[in-house]
């Protein structure tokens, strides 16, 4: 079943992280519906939030794949509907 | 004292104890090559004939040396030529650091001569990549790159260095004991999970271990055996798990997957427990997922959390280094016996053998690849390192050579890269200079990287090249035979005189097409001191069996 999911990523504020996240989604032909990114605190850390419509069985796999990105510190997700 | 960025690159490699580099110079990495000129007594540079060869050679080196493979390439086409090898390393978890030159930062983004977006191109096929634009960054980035490549689930890293950074001067100091916090959190198994897994193992009546490449990477072969021996568990292997344990070990039951053993595939779907160790339930292993191991609980041991529940749902997952997990598991495992279960493997295994003999009757006194590897296996006592290319030769090498030494079957499993074997064997032979290294190639695959004969010549490596020539792209022809009504669409290949090509590179060789000469020819082949090409003309229309057709369940394995 297709679910709408919001992913929240905490990562180092460096070039290329968003590109790697987008690549993980592209490889599985997953579309991004909304996207925001902004630095927090010292500007060394950034958060990336995006929502997507995704097959239920893939939700956790995507989070784990994103977590493998070296600059990513943490990933959480929320199933909205 | 200040040194140049290029010298800092070489110093960083020396700090990482790099002994061999596979590479190719060009405009954008010339300063690095100039710096290397002064360190030829410390680092051996192997000049390949194409950058793809550098990446595969570095893979071969890394696969048997427990070290990181290193390659150099210039910008633009140099870097893009590495791509196949990098993708191969990503799929097969091989630690590589690939260092590419890049145009000066002042012209990056202007479509300068030999500029290409290496970071963009390699992002989805690297564990990490980084563009260095200032010499200041070199030491830290190299320390990080080597750490990332070799720790956790190993993989390739690309460092792209702009030319200005190679010229700039810098105070060099190399970081000591670099580490990343996220890697210390890799082991995610706790006592509770270990006990739960042990309980399931202790209660299982029909258990099956499937050992993969992770067992080799983690050097967990002894721990695996201890556990299997204690609980009397049958051990099957994936293609990359071959040579984890000797094939003559009583607990060894064979290979899983598309061309795996009949008994193992059949009984996977009768097992009540699958213990996957350092493997990823790839589609070539599982067949159609909905019909895979329907009666089994699954314990999955892997260092990569993203592999857990990706294809096969687990009952218990133990995320961590295979060796550490197995050590923790062992004290909780009870002595056990599964005699009847082993008997089923034996029974079906005998059936497969009988069927094989019957099927092969029509090839009596003809040369087929299975016979080549059977004889080779006997002549070498199973103690050569076989570097197999992709296709029929790869599967016959997997099935009919009796691997007796640890980590002695090297092939491109995940990406299935034709042309892998010849360059990879260069890396393997350099890492294992006294071992008998045999590159097994088909006529198609050999011609994809045949120029590396030049590297073998220049480096004076005693690699034995076994060319199994059927004038076809054999595996594709096999599929056309079985699934496309024998419509052999563009799989026939008009071939050159391979012996003349070898001879042009100063490599001796021989052609054999008479079965009565095969044994003697193989004997000469393995006893030759220097590089040697043995071209074996094999049966044109001969197929690899058993076979699980794509889209079928593993227990729908075909014997013909």
Residue-wise pLDDT for B136-166, tens only, equals 999 999 999 999 999 999 999 999 999 999 9
Tokens of B387: 């570097």
Q: So what's the pLDDT on residue B560?
A: 87
Look at residue B529 and tell me if it is in a domain: yes
Do B338 and B394 fall into the same domain? no
User: Is the Cβ of B119 closer than 8 Å to some Cβ of chain A?
Assistant: yes
First to last CA, chain A: 11
Measured in angstroms, the CA of A39 and the nearest CA of chain B are apart by 20
pTM: 0.97
Count the Cβ atoms, other than its own, within 10 Å of residue B381.
Answer: 10
Average pLDDT, chain B: 96
Helices (H), B25-137: 30-36, 51-65, 77-91, 118-122
Look at residue B551 and tell me if it is in a domain.
no
Last residue of a domain, one of B184, B202, B227: B184
Average pLDDT over residues A66-75: 95
Say which residues have a Cβ less than 8 Å from residue B63's Cβ, sequence separation at least 6: B94, B407, B410, B424, B427, B428
Are A64 and B308 inside 8 Å of each other by CB?
Answer: yes
Q: Would B378 be classed as within a structural domain? A: yes
pLDDT in tens, B21-47: 999 999 999 999 999 999 999 999 999
Distance CA B417, CA B85 (A): 8
Mean pLDDT, range A56-70, rounded to an integer: 95
ipTM of the modeled complex:
0.95
> Do residue B308 and residue A65 have CB atoms under 8 angstroms apart?
no
Let me know whether B135 and B261 are in one domain: no
Give the tokens for residue B253.
């039951």
User: Across residues B261-290, what is the average pLDDT?
Assistant: 96
Give the rounded distance of the alpha carbon of B528 from its chain centre.
26
Residues B257-270 have a mean pLDDT of 96
Residue B186 has pLDDT above 80, yes or no: no
Q: What percent of chain A is modeled with pLDDT above 70?
A: 100
Pair B159, B35 in one domain: yes
Catalytic residue among B7, B11, B51, B91: B51
Confidence grade of residue B185 (pLDDT, cut at 50, 70, 90): low
Any domain includes B12: yes
Question: In three state form, how does the secondary structure of B452-474 look?
Answer: HHHHHHHHCCCCEEEEEECCECH
Chain A nearest C-alpha distance from B128 (Å):
7
Cis peptide before B546, with omega less than 30 degrees from 0? yes
As a whole number of angstroms, the distance between CA B231 and CA A33 comes to 51
And the tokens for A59? Answer: 């939700």
Percent of chain B topping pLDDT 90: 96
Q: Does residue B278 sit within a domain?
A: yes
Confidence of residue B181 (pLDDT cuts 50, 70, 90): confident
Identify the band that residue B347 occupies on the pLDDT scale cut at 50, 70 and 90: very high
Whether residue B197 is found in the same domain as residue B178 = no
- Domain end point (choices B124, B152, B184): B184
- Tell whether the model's pLDDT for residue B300 goes beyond 90: yes
Does B331 contact A at CB distance below 8 Å?
Answer: no
To the query of whether residue B258 is one of the catalytic residues in this protein, the response is no
Q: Is the confidence at residue A48, as pLDDT, over 90?
A: yes
Our count of domains for chain B comes to 3
CB distance A70–B148 less than 8 Å?
yes
Q: Where are the domains of chain A?
A: 2-79
pLDDT at B475 over 80: yes
Chain B residue numbers touching A64 (CB-CB < 8 A): 305-306, 308
The packing angle between helices B392-400 and B369-380, to 10°, is 40
Q: Quick check: B514 contacting A, CB < 8 Å?
A: no
Judged by average pLDDT, the poorest of A17-21, A36-40, B181-185 is B181-185
- A70 and B182 in contact by Cβ < 8 A? yes
| Same domain flag for B449 and B497 | yes
Give the pLDDT confidence score for residue B189 in this predicted structure: 81
CATH of the domain at B413: 3.40.50.970
Whether residue B183 has pLDDT greater than 80: no
Contacts of A73 in chain B (CB under 8 A): 182
- Are A70 and B305 in contact (CB < 8 Å)? no
Number of A–B residue contacts, CB under 8 Å:
27
The region that residue B50 occupies, defined by phi over 0 for left and psi between -120 and 50 for alpha, beta otherwise, is beta
Chain-chain contact of A67 with B308 (C-beta, under 8 angstroms): no
Instruction: Quote the pLDDT of residue B190.
Output: 86
Any B CB within 8 A of A3 CB? no
**B187 has pLDDT over 90:** no
Inter-residue long-range contacts of B35-40, CB under 8 Å, 24+ positions, other chains counted: B35/B4, B35/B6, B35/B7, B35/B9, B35/B10, B36/B10, B38/B10, B39/B10, B39/B14
B410 within some domain: yes
Answer yes or no: do B127 and A67 touch at CB < 8 A: no
Cβ(B454)–Cβ(B54) under 8 Å?
A: no
CATH number, domain at B287? 3.40.50.1220
CA–CA min distance B227, chain A (Å): 29
Out of B124, B127, B148, the one facing A27 most closely (by C-beta) is B124
Based on the domain organization, do B221 and B84 belong to the same domain? no
The whole-angstrom distance between A73's CA and the closest CA on chain B is 7
Nearest CA to A67 out of B436, B186, B406 is that of: B186
In a domain, B353, yes or no: no
- Mark whether B221 and B300 lie in a shared domain: yes
- Tell me the residue range of the domain where B479 lies: 367-537
- Region B331-360 average pLDDT: 94
Asked if the Cβ–Cβ distance from B306 to A19 is below 8 Å, we say no
Of the pLDDT bands very low, low, confident and very high (cuts 50, 70, 90), residue B467 is very high
Establish whether B429 is a catalytic residue. no
Are the beta carbons of B305 and A67 separated by less than 8 Å? yes
Q: Does B245 touch chain A (CB under 8 A)?
A: no
Residue B125 confidence (pLDDT): 98
**Catalytic (active site) residue B114:** yes
Q: Do the domain assignments include residue B13?
A: yes
Most B CBs within 10 Å, among A63, A70, A75, to test the B interface: A70
Q: Are residues B129 and B250 in the same domain?
A: no
pLDDT score of A42 more than 90:
no
- Say yes or no: A65 contacts chain B, CB-CB below 8 A: yes
Interface probe for B, chosen from A15, A62, A68, A75 (most Cβ of B below 10 Å), is A68
Q: Compute how many other C-beta atoms are within 10 angstroms of the C-beta atom of residue B534.
A: 26
**CB of A14 less than 8 A from some CB of B:** no
Band of the pLDDT at B88, cuts 50, 70, 90?
very high
Shortest Cα–Cα distance, B26 to chain A (Å): 27
Whether B184 shows a pLDDT value over 70: the answer reads no
β-pairing verdict for A32-40 and B297-302: unpaired
State the pLDDT at residue B508. 97
Q: Using CB atoms, which residue from B123, B124, B310 is nearest to A61? A: B310
Question: Which among B184, B213, B247 is the end of a domain?
Answer: B184
CB of B157 less than 8 A from some CB of A: no
Query: What is the reported pLDDT for B54?
Result: 98
Q: Same structural domain for residues B58 and B154?
A: yes
Taking an 8 Å cut-off on Cβ atoms, the answer to whether A61 and B305 are in contact is: no
Residues B133 and B153 in one domain: yes
Same domain for B146 and B198, yes or no, is: no
Same domain, B205 and B317: yes
Measured CA to CA in angstroms, residue B477 lies from A17, B466, B468, B485 at distances of 43, 20, 15, 11
Q: Tens digits of per-residue pLDDT, B106-141?
A: 999 999 999 999 999 999 999 999 999 999 999 999
Tell me the two tokens of residue B414: 């995940």
Q: Residue for token digits 């002064």?
A: B38
Beta bridge partners of B211: B237, B277
CATH class, range A2-79: alpha beta
- Nearest chain B Cα distance for residue A7, angstroms: 16
Sign of torsion over alpha carbons A20, B215, B351, B386: positive
Q: With 90 as the cut, is the pLDDT of residue A43 above it?
A: no
């Amino acid at each position: 079943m297709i679910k709408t999911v919001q992913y929240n990523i905490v990562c180092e504020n460096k070039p290329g992280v968003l590109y790697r996240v987008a690549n993980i989604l592209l490889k599985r032909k997953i579309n991004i519906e909304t996207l925001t990114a902004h630095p927090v605190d010292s500007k060394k850390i950034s958060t990336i939030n995006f929502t997507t419509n995704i097959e239920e069985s893939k939700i956790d796999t995507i989070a784990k794949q994103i977590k493998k990105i070296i600059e990513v510190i943490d990933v959480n997700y929320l199933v909205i509907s | 004292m200040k040194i140049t960025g290029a010298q800092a690159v070489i110093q960083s490699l020396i700090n990482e104890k790099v002994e061999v580099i596979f590479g190719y110079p060009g405009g954008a990495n010339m300063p690095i090559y100039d710096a290397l000129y002064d360190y030829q007594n410390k680092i051996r540079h192997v000049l390949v004939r194409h950058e793809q060869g550098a990446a595969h050679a570095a893979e071969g080196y890394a696969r048997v040396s427990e070290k990181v493979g290193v390659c150099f390439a210039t910008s633009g086409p140099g870097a893009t030529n590495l791509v196949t090898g990098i993708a191969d390393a990503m799929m097969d978890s091989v630690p590589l650091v690939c260092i590419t030159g890049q145009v000066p930062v002042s012209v990056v983004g202007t479509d300068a001569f030999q500029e290409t977006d290496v970071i963009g191109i390699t992002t989805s096929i690297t564990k990490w990549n980084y563009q260095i634009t200032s010499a200041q960054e070199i030491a830290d980035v190299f320390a990080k790159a080597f750490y990332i490549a070799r720790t956790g689930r190993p993989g390739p890293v690309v460092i792209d260095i702009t030319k200005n950074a190679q010229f700039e001067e810098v105070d060099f100091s190399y970081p000591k004991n670099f580490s990343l916090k996220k890697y210390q959190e890799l082991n995610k198994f706790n006592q509770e999970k270990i006990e739960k897994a042990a309980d399931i193992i202790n209660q299982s009546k029909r258990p099956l271990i499937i050992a993969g490449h992770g067992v080799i990477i983690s050097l967990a072969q002894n721990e695996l055996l201890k556990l299997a021996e204690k609980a009397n568990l049958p051990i099957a292997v994936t293609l990359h798990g071959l040579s984890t344990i000797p094939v003559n070990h009583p607990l060894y039951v064979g290979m899983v997957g598309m061309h795996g053993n009949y008994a193992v595939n059949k009984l996977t779907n009768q097992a009540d427990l699958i213990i996957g160790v350092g493997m990823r339930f790839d589609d070539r292993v599982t067949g159609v997922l909905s019909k895979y191991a329907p009666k089994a609980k699954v314990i999955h041991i892997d260092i990569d959390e993203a592999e857990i529940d990706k294809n096969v749902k687990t009952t218990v997952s133990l995320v961590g280094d295979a060796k550490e997990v197995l050590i923790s598991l062992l004290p909780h495992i009870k002595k056990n016996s599964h005699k009847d279960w082993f008997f089923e493997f034996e029974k079906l295994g005998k059936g497969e053998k009988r069927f094989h003999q019957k099927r092969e009757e029509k090839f009596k006194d003809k040369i087929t690849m299975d016979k080549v590897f059977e004889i080779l296996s006997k002549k070498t006592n199973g103690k050569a390192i076989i570097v197999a290319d992709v296709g029929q030769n790869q599967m016959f090498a997997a099935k009919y050579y009796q691997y007796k030494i640890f980590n002695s079957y090297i092939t491109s499993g995940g990406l299935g890269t034709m042309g892998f074997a010849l360059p990879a064997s260069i890396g393997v032979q350099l890492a294992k200079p006294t071992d008998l290294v045999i590159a097994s190639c088909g006529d198609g695959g050999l011609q994809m990287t045949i120029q590396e004969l030049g590297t073998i010549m220049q480096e004076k490596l005693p690699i034995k090249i076994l060319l199994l020539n059927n004038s076809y792209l054999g595996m594709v022809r096999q599929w056309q035979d079985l699934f496309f009504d024998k419509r052999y669409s563009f799989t026939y290949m008009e071939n050159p005189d391979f012996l003349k090509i070898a001879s042009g590179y100063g490599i001796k060789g021989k052609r054999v097409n008479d079965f009565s000469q095969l044994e003697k020819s193989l004997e000469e082949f393995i006893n030759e001191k220097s590089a040697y090409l043995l071209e074996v003309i094999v049966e044109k229309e001969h197929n690899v069996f058993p076979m699980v057709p794509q889209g079928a369940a593993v227990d729908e394995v075909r014997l013909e």
